[in-house]
Every structure is written in C-alpha cells, then in structure tokens.
Structure 1
Amino acid sequence: MALSNSEIADIFNQMADMLEIKGENPFKVRAYRNAARTVQNLGKSLDSLMEEGMELTKLPGIGHDLAESIAEIIETGKFSKLEALKKEMPEGLDKLLSIEGLGPKRIRQLYDTFHITSLEELAKVAESGEIYTLKGFGPKLVEKILKGVRLAKKAGHRFRFDVAKPFAEELRSYLENFEGVIDVEVAGSYRRKKETVGDLDILVVAENWERVVDWFVAFEKIKEVVSKGPTRSTVILRNDLQVDLRSVAKESYGSALHYFTGSKAHNIKIRKMAIEKGWKINEYGVFQGERRIGGETEEQIYRMLGLRYIEPELREDRGEVEASLEGRLPKLVTLEEVRGDLHVHSNWTDGHASIREMAEAAKAKGYDYIAITDHSRHLTVAKGLDEKRLREQMEAIDKLNETLDGITVLKGIECDILEDGSLDLPDSVLNELDIVLGAVHYKFNLSKKEQTRRIVKAMQHPCFNVLAHPTGRIIGHRNAYELDMGEIFKACKNEQVALEINAQPERLDLNDIYAKVAKEEGIKLSVATDAHDPMSLDFMEYGINQARRGWLEKEEILNTRTLKQLKALLKKG
C-alpha cells in the first residue's frame, strides 16, 4: 500500500517538528523540512519514480540518508526513526505546533512548566492567566494563542484541497476502470473546488452496485470500512478522510450530481424556483406530482428553470442564479489561458533551482514568460537580495534571455513592505525592474488601522505593481492579519496596483470572496504560484480554482495577457 506524496511529506514534517521540539541540530530539522517540500511538490508519485529506477538523490534536498528513508516509508508504510522519536516525546505536543505564535521552544517551555499536551490544557492555562508567569508570554501572544486554539478547533477534520485531491482522483480512476461502471463523479465541496474538504462524496452509475461496493472497499488505502449498504457505503482512508460512495440511477444522475455538489444555499434557491413552477426537485429527479419530468443531466435541470448552466465553483448563492437569469454569468478563466507566472523564486534566495531551470520548466508548460521575484534584503532567513546582488541577478537575467528561445524571463523582486510602509530597496534599483511585488513578512499583529496604513502607503510607491499574498493567512494555521479591505481596494484602484491570488495551497490568498469584490471594483489580479522549484509551478491549478470561485474571467487577470500587453499594464500611470 504505497503512500501518497502528501503522506510522505507529512511524515517528514512530523519528524522535523519533533526534532525541533526536542532541540536537535537545526540543520537536521531543515533537511527534513526541505525534503517534505520537495516530495509534496513532485508531479509524479515517489512510488512510480522508484519503480522507474530513478535515483532519488537527484531530487532537490534529498541526500543518501533521506533517499533510504523514502524507500523505507514506501516499502513499509512507516518511518522507524519517527516511531522511535515519538516514543521518546510526551504524546500530544506535536498538536500544539498548529497554533500561531507557538514554536518548538515555547511548546517545550509550556510542557516543562505546566505539562501541557493538548489544546484544551493550553486554553485553560492561557485563560487562567497562569501562562503570564512564563518569560516572553505577554498579552498579545496569549491573545494570539487563544485565537489559534479556536481556529484549530474550528478547522476540525477538514483537509486542504491539495491533500484531498490525490485521493479523490485515484479513487475516481480506480472506480472508472472497473467493469460495469458507467459514470463516476466526485461531488460536494471538492467539485466546487473549495479551499478545504470535509469528506468526499462519490456518485456512481453502475450495472451491478454490489460488485462495485466490493471493489470499492478493497481499495488499498482504506483504514476502516464503516458501512456497506444497498445505496451507500462509507469508508475512512488512512489519513482519516471519509469517503461516501453512493449508488445513482442513470435517469437520476443529473439531479443527484446537483444535489450532492451543493452548496446547500444554492440548492435551496433552485428548489424554490421549481416550487414556483409547481415542481419538486430532489436527488432523484424533477417531479410534477408523482411523474418524473427531468433530472438526467444538470444542464437539463437548469434549462427547465430558464437558467444557463452554472459552473460548480459558482454555486454558493452569491448572485449566480440572478446572473444566470439575466444572461451575465462570467466566462470563467481556465488553466489553459494562463500565459505566464509572475511570482517565482530561484536559488539566488530560498528557491531550489536556477533561473534557467525555472524558465525551462515554465516553457515546458507552454508559458511565454515568468517573473523571477526573489526576496529582498529584509528577509534574511531567505537570503534576501540587497541592491548589489539584485543588480547582479538582473544582469544574469539579461544574459540568460539572450540564450532562451520561446520564453522571456522578467526581472522582478518580492520586496518587503517595512513597518512604516516604505519598501525594502531603493528607488534607483526598483525603477529598473519589470515588476515589483510588495509583501508583508513580519509584524502581522499591527492594529487594523496601522496595518492598512502600512500597506496603502507602500502601494503608493510608483514602482509597486502587485500586492502579494495580500492578507497573509495560512489555512488552518494563521488568520489573516487585520485590514480594512475597503481601503485596500480603494488604494489598488487609485494606484493601479493588482492583487495576487497566491496559488500556494496553504495560502490561496486572496480568498474567493475578496477576489469577487476586486473584480466588481475593476481591480486586476495576478494568479501566481510563488514557486520555489520547478514542480511548484503546478500549483497554478489551485490558484485558477480560486479565481474561478471568485468569478474571474481571462480579461481580469494579468498573466493571461501577451507579454506586450502585460508590460503595458505594469507601467503605472
């Protein structure tokens, strides 16, 4: 039972967490973190790569020892070093790492003083005020900890879309290839491309349900079979993701797909429209009295109600039904319309590949351009570029472009927005770049007024093009910092600044709601991967999912433009 790449990455991240709590050598910790990132970003499963005879040591950050560890994990499904380390450590400490503001040293401090090993114990000590007896635990940190506990509890057992996807698609393929299966679709929030997925609802039309169920429960990544029923079977996968398989009649497929795709609010609105016509819509079809009059396809259901087909990503009751009635549904952007990536890192800072390697990988994806936007000097942990090194990089890019065919590398920077709203590099060098991304990487806890003023001031800089990962949130780990988004949108319009949809699956920032508001305000957006290695360029898919949920069309996105059009848009004023 080969583990998925995300499962192997989780194992390495757990190892790094436990080593850090224990106080081990930071270089060893970093090695596991880098390995986890490499594994997570691979476009092909490690199991397949090993079967093909690939030397794993050729992967970035994978040395001989880590290659042997990967082989052990794939062969046995476990990592003996992690199992041994867990036995040494108090149970439950690793769960505290999900709380913003709690690094390994503070977790160790909490355990040594209060023997805290759970979120409940952490909340109790924080609320009682006992936590203030520890050095470094002030009111702001304690408030952040309590917010983090609430966020962790709220997150429950939801899975990021990118974590659920390999399981969903493997199950889809597994079922589609079984004899007698006619239709298979993964419905629910997964089909709507939401940021997180609670469980998977898979609908199947098949000639023989019983045989399909037997095949389904034999899937190798199942941890527990919860039920096997005449119309529904439920299993829990090894990573605790629940999967419900539902039997659907061919004549009800469209109705069932619409019902189980949701959202609930969208479905209620559709049902009300049917009631006004004297009909009833449920998962079995469209009925007039006891007579079925439709439901074979989703398109038919919408057509019967006088609606154009509404894409799953839009079904959130945010005006999509009214837009359909009035003939103004957006023609949603597609992955194929993307012509480049405007947020890419290289090994000049914290990336894992050369600029040439990133350019060649982008060209292989059919892109016309990429922007190299390494970190600026303030981000020392990422080896940020000062003016001298940035100029050296600019010269290197100019020389590289002379040798490249079919793709252009743009000169850029991901420039830190300092606490006072100034940019981290002088105008003399910023003026010479093709694109400047501004980003907040520290001081997340400023007041709403201070944080908004900081970012608005930065956007007023004549070289500022795109606000990267605008709200700073990390899904399930860090809330967005406080911002007056109305003021941010106003500044974007006034200063001709675009907002980024950062496609990193743990960010997806802007969220879909703000992306829709930006569209309505006439603000341009950039969908970008923030890639630190060639494989991370594939994250563009997740950014486009988010853009579609935000109603975005090709014309509203910078990197669907030709290079000539893009350069014109980047010239503010």
Structure 2
Amino acid sequence: MNNKQIAGVLNQLADLMEISGENGFKVNAYRRAARTAENHRTPLREMLNRLVELPGIGKGTAGVIEEIVTTGTTSLLEELRQTLPPALPDLLHLPGMGPRSIYLLYKELNVVDLPTLQAAAEQGKIRSLSGFGPKKEQKILEAIQHVKNRPDRHLLHEALIVAERLSAHLQGMEEVQRMELAGSLRRQKETIKDIDFVIATVAPRQLGERIVSLPEVREIVGQGETKVSVRVAVGEVEMGVDFRLVTPEQFASALHHFTGSTEHNIRIRQRAKELGWKVSEYGILDGETGEVTTFADEAQFFRQLGLSYVPPELREDRGEMERARVGELPRLISDADIRADLHMHTEFSDGADSIYDMAIAAKAKGYEYIAITDHSQSLKVANGLTVDELIAQWQEIEQVNREITDITILKGAEVDILPDGKLDYPDEILAQLDLVIAAVHTSMKQDEQTMTRRIIAAMENPHVHMLAHPTGRLLLRREAYALDIDAIFKTAQATGTIIELNANPHRLDLSDVLLQKAKEEYGLTFAINTDAHSVHGQDVMRYGVATARRGWLEAKDVVNTYPLAELKKRLIK
C-alpha cells in the first residue's frame, strides 16, 4: 500500500463514520491522518514503528494504518459497510452530497439509496431539514436527473476489462475454434456501448448454452444458433454483449462485417458493387454465378476487393478507402514503438510513488528514458512544488540517475498556465528544465477567445516544449473547454510545440479526430503520455497508442518513439 492508497482507505472510513452518525472528533481524527498520509513523502509502510511521531497520527490511528498496510483495509471500515444500507454510500457520488448531508437524510427521512432520495425530494420532504432548503432540494433533483441521463456507454478500459474476462472463459471452451473481438471495441473507440465477439464454431447450440451459463451473465436477451445476446456484469460495469456464431469458413468475412462502422461498411458494399459482387457477413457473392467466396483472413478479403488491408482502428470512413485503393495507408504506431513516457507525477506533488520507483517501473517496460513532471506551485490542490522544492527534486533526480542504469530521467515540470496566460514558474527556472509541459487546470469556464489567447500566450513562451491534455475534457464527465482549436494548431506549427495525447482513459485528449486533423492539416508532432500518478498508472499507455492509431499517427509523428539523442535535438527551440 502506498501513501495515497492508505489515505484513500482512511477517507473512506471517515466518510462512513460520518454517515453512520459517529462523533465529529473521531471522524476528524481519521481525516487528519489521511492528510498526513497523503502529504508525507516517506512511505508509511517503511515507518510503522514511528507513525505516532507524525503530526495528526495518534496511537489509535497508527494501529489502523498498520492494519491497512498489512491487509489493504481495516476491520472498522468493513464493519461499517455491513451495518449501513449497501447503496447509501453511493450517494456520495452525487454532486453536493457530503457525508453529513447523507447522515441527516438517512436518519430523518430513511433515505437509503437513489430511488428513496428522489422520492423524498419530489415529495418536498428534504427542504424542511436543517441545512437544506428548497434550492438544495432542487439541486439534488437535478443531480439525480443528470445521473439518470448519462449515456449508456463505458470507457474503453472498462469495456476491455469485461471483454478480457469473457475471452478467458471462451478460450477454454472446446466448441470455440476461432474468436475475435469485433465492433467499436475492436476499433478501440474511446467509449463503448456494447461488446461484440465473432466466434467460429461447428457446435453453435452447445456453445450458446455454455455462454449463457457464464457466471458474469445477468440476463439472457436472446439465444439462437447464429447469435447469443446477454447482459453481463464485471465489478461495477454492466453492459450488453453479442456473440456472433459462424462457421469457420465464414469467420473472416463475419469479422470484417461486424468490426467496421456503418459508414465504412457502406463503402465496402459500394466497392463490391463496382466489381459486380455483393458483400455480407458470410462472404462475397458473385452476382453472375451466385458463387460465394470465403477467406482465410481479413487481408485476403481486402485483396479480393482490390484494397490493401485496413487496420480495424481506421474503419470509420475517414479516408481509409481512398488510401487503401492506392496502397497508401499509414504504417500505424504500435506499443512496441514507445521508448519513453514524458508526463508522470511522483510523491513530490500528487503522485503515490517515488522517482526511483517510477523509473524502475519504466525500465521494466523497456523504456530508454522518462520525464518527471510534477505540478507547479500554484496548483495547491495537487501539492504543487515551490521553486525550492523543484530544485530539491532535481537533486533527487540526479541521485536516481546515478543509481539506475539503462534509463535516463529527465527533469521536467507540468507548469500551470495561469488565467492570464503567464506561466507558474519564472523563465530562469523554466530554462533549467529538460522538458516544460504547459497545462490548464483552473478557470476552465473562460470564453473561447480568452481561453485561446491564454493557451497561445503560453505556447509562445520559448521555454515551453509541450501542451498537455489540450482540450481539458474528461470522457463522460466534462466537456472540453471553449477553444479555437485551429488557432492552437497554427500556433503549435509556428512555435514547434509538441501536442500531447494524454493516454489516461478518462481523458484520451486529443481525440482521434483532432489528432488526424492536427497531423494532416498542420503537420504537428505529438507525445503519447500516461500522466501517471503511480507505478501502475504507467500501464495506460496502451489506450493512448490505440487512440493514436485511430488518429492515423505513425511512429515518426510521436516524439517519445525517438531515441533520447534525437528527442533532445527536437526539444531545442
């Protein structure tokens, strides 16, 4: 358990204690301990015998922390979970709903979940409670409606977790001869509604019975010999899954048919029609002879149509058909091309792990170099580094560079772009950094002209190398801020600023569409970064690479595929 995880358990404990009506003194004791855990730079697991020396940690909380380090939880938390209604803590996810409010609603109105909360609000019962009133009651109703109106979609990484669980089951079934993911998940879209599998089998009925018996299945929507549809649940994610059952001969055609977007498939049918054929999930039908041609793989299918192979990520009708006709599709970037990660945080700011641990984890991935880019001083909520703290970090980076071979750690910073466009460190400090990443974290509701001018001002600073998560979006949670993206791209072109593709699956910023635009219209270069806040956070690189492929990027377009010497030349402005 790292310090951030320990703090998370302590905060959960404090929340549930407050919801259950525990006295404020005890609740605040755990909140103080959580703050100490999160802000302390030495891992608490390494100083269990000295915890009481830390501010905010007494003998009782020290014992709880030791239990958390040992078991990953605490018996106090587990007991509270058993005594409270199971859905009551979920109300904490509603905007404006804190533990104290939930306690009052639970005690006075017997609110135990979202439906009982909605009923109490609609009946006007909440406004009479102390500290609430008509306005807060209305805001609660609006928050509930917002939750209910959220699109029935899931983030890419959530859908992949479900798909990988199901794949593990299917691979062990003797009835399965071949199997692949299809649909939007195979195309690696940033959000997914349903999961599609294409399976080759000669025993569809028996296979269907085994599928509907899987432990993850919550509902059987349909069951036949060519298609089985179910709803499954893995953890907190519940979604629909279609299993398309075909013969081994039909597999390649069906895989293509159920992978491409509607628009891509229309273009494929048009191409076949030009040649006198018809395309279906079963193969290509000759209009004159009635003969159906099937294929060993998708590459053979595309060759039959006079096209080069189109990778699944490009099957969106965004120019791939025209390029496939003349054999000029890009050689898309792959995971193996990545040599480095240029955006990561450590325990110096709001990360969970040390510089040493982050470097060791990156080295295990085969990276040649990384950049440590903790937050700058004005971002207090993320423990941004003062100038003195940044200089102390440089000394630690130099020490770790001496200790670890075969990987180089660059001195960087994620520097806030202040509301007026100025940067959060003076130029004389920025000039000493190997990598300066500029980013917006505050005042996100500025109008388009103000926000655009703000970001351009930062990019025009000669010390800025990269623009992080350029539109500020959070998928399914927060829209991009108002921005003239063409003006940003023109400035990047003029200043040589690298544009980040943030690989965090909650961001994937820039989007695939904007990546393609930035590349093809402006000739920009990019960096795919994880923005990791822990060792495990480095694992999200795959989602960034998937989005880069959807954006038509090649290795040459992405600076963290360069050898270190070449990157250093690129960073000279």
Q: Normalization by structure 2: what TM-score?
A: 0.81
Asked whether the equivalents of residues 445 and 481 of structure 1 are also in contact (C-alpha less than 8 Å), the reply is: yes
Cα 1:433–1:165 change in 2 (3 A) is same
Question: Are residue 384 (structure 1) and residue 408 (structure 2) matched?
Answer: no
Q: Helix, strand or coil for the counterpart of 1:411?
A: strand
The alpha-carbon distance between structure 1 residues 427 and 312, as it changes in their structure 2 partners (threshold 3 A), is same
- Which residue in 2 is equivalent to 1:478? 478
Within the alignment, does 1:212 sit opposite 2:215 as a pair?
Answer: no
Q: What is the alpha-carbon distance in structure 1 between the residues aligned to residue 281 and residue 336 of structure 2?
A: 33
* Partner secondary structure for residue 445 of structure 1: coil
CA contact (8 A) 2:416 2:439 kept: yes
Aligned equivalents of 1:34 and 1:278: distance in 2?
Answer: 72
Asked whether the 8 Å contact 1:12–1:33 carries over to 2, the reply is: no
Shift of 1:404: 1.9
After the TM superposition, which residues 112-127 of structure 1 pair with which residues of structure 2 at under 5 Å, given as runs? Answer: none
Query: For 1:191 and 1:30, how far apart are their aligned partners in 2?
Result: 46
Say if 2:11 and 2:30, in contact at 8 Å, map to a contact too.
Answer: no
The answer as to 2:426 corresponding to 1:426 is: yes
Kindly report which structure 2 residues correspond to 1:264-303, keeping only aligned pairs within 5 A, or say none. 264-289=262-287, 290-303=290-303
How do residues 84-95 of structure 1 correspond to structure 2 at under 5 angstroms? Answer: 84-86=83-85, 89=88, 93-94=91-92
Residue 155 of structure 2: which of 154, 160, 166 is its match? 160
Q: Secondary structure at the match of 2:491?
A: helix
Q: Whole-Å Cα distance in 1 between the matches of residues 15 and 273 of structure 2?
A: 57
Deviation of 1:263 (Å): 0.7
**In structure 2, C-alpha distance between the alignment counterparts of 1:438 and 1:570, rounded to whole Å:** 14
Q: Is the 8 A contact 2:10 2:30 kept in 1?
A: no
Residues 340-381 of structure 1: CA distance to partner in whole angstroms, max 9, x if unpaired? Answer: 000011111111111111111111100000000001011112
Give 1:121 deviation, angstroms: 9.6
Q: Kindly tell me: are residues 81 and 33 of structure 1, through their superposed partners in 2, closer, same or farther at Cα, counting changes over 3 Å? A: farther
Describe how 1:191-340 pairs up with structure 2 within 5 A.
191-238=186-233, 239-289=237-287, 290-340=290-340
CA deviations on 1:317-356 (whole Å, 9 max, x unpaired) are 1111111113221100001110000001111111111111
Q: Rate the CA distance shift 1:68–1:170 in 2: closer, same or farther, 3 A.
A: same
Q: 1:398 to 1:14 in 2, by over 3 A?
A: closer
Please give the alpha-carbon distance, in whole angstroms, between the structure 2 residues aligned to 1:402 and 1:265.
Answer: 54
| CA–CA distance in structure 1, aligned partners of residues 212 and 467 of structure 2 | 47
Give the 3 Å change call, closer, same or farther, for CA 327–20 of structure 1 in structure 2. Answer: farther
Deviation at 1:69? 6.7
Amino acid of the structure 2 residue aligned with 1:484: D
> Residue in 1 aligned with 2:513?
513
Map Cα deviations across residues 482-513 of structure 1 (whole Å, 9 max, x no partner): 10001100111111111111111111111111
Q: How many residues align?
A: 517
Are positions 1:453 and 2:453 aligned together? yes
Q: What's the offset of the Cα at 1:518?
A: 1.4
Per-residue deviation at 1:180?
3.5
| Segment drifting more, 420-429 vs 205-214 | 205-214
Deviation at 1:170, TM superposition (A): 2.2
What is the DSSP-based 3-state SS (H/G/I as helix, E as strand, rest coil) of the residue aligned with 2:366? coil
1:567 corresponding residue in structure 2: 568
CA distance in 1, matches of 2:252, 2:543: 26
Residues 96 and 117, structure 1, Cα contact 8 Å, conserved in 2 = no
* Aligned CA distance change for structure 1 residues 398 and 68 (closer, same or farther; 3 Å): closer
Structure 2 vs 1, CA of residues 122 and 547 (structure 1 numbering), >3 Å: closer, same or farther? farther
Superposed CA deviations along residues 373-410 of structure 1, whole A, max 9, x for unmatched, are 00101111221111111111112212221222100000
Match of residue 411 from structure 2: 411
Quick one: which amino acid aligns to residue 323 of structure 1? R
Please state how far the C-alpha of 1:181 moved relative to its aligned partner: 1.8
**Equivalent residue, structure 2, for 1:39:** none
C-alpha change, 1:216 and 1:432, in structure 2 (3 Å) is same
In 2: Cα distance, 1:306 partner to 1:514 partner: 29
Find the aligned partners of 1:484 and 1:447 in 2 and give their Cα distance.
10
Structure 2: gaps of 5 or more residues: 38-63, 124-130
Q: Is the 8 A contact 1:18 1:86 kept in 2?
A: no
Moved more, 226-235 or 492-501: 226-235
Query: Could you tell me how far apart the structure 1 residues matched to 2:339 and 2:68 are?
Result: 39
Which amino acid in 1 is paired with 2:433?
L
Matches within 5 A, 1:329-408: 329-408=329-408
The TM-score, its normalising length taken from structure 1, stands at 0.81
- Where 1:505 maps in the other structure, the secondary structure is coil
Match of 1:554 in 2: 555
Compared CA separation, residues 476 and 399, structure 1 to 2 (3 A): same
Cα RMSD after superposing both structures: 3.9
User: Per the alignment, in what secondary structure is the counterpart of residue 178 of structure 1?
Assistant: coil
C-alpha separation in 1, matches of 2:132 and 2:492: 43
> 2: CA distance between counterparts of 1:227 and 1:34?
53
Relative distance call for 1:485 and 1:304 in structure 2 (3 A) is: same
Name the SS for the 2:199 alignment partner.
strand
Contact 2:282 2:294 in 1 (8 A): no
Q: Cα deviation per residue 1:164-192 (whole Å; 9 max; x = unaligned)?
A: 11221121122122223210111111100
* Identical positions, percent: 39
The residue aligned with 1:130 is none
1:188 to 183, 188, 191: 183
SS of match in other structure, 2:343: strand
The SS at the match of 2:388 is: helix
**Per-residue Cα deviation, 1:52-85 (whole angstroms, up to 9, x for no partner):** xxxxxxxxx986248657699xxxxx96644644
Question: Structure 1 pair 85/111, CA: closer, same or farther in 2 (3 Å)?
Answer: closer
Work out the CA distance in 1 between the residues paired with 2:157 and 2:452.
31
1:529 maps to amino acid: T
Return the alpha-carbon distance in structure 1 between the equivalents of residues 490 and 28 of structure 2. 44
More deviation in 11-20 or 154-163?
11-20
Q: Is the 8 A contact 2:369 2:408 kept in 1?
A: yes
Compared CA separation, residues 109 and 388, structure 1 to 2 (3 A)? same
| 2:343–2:530 CA contact under 8 A, matched in 1 | yes
The amino acid across from 2:450 in the alignment is E
Aligned equivalents of 1:460, 1:518: Cα separation in 2: 18
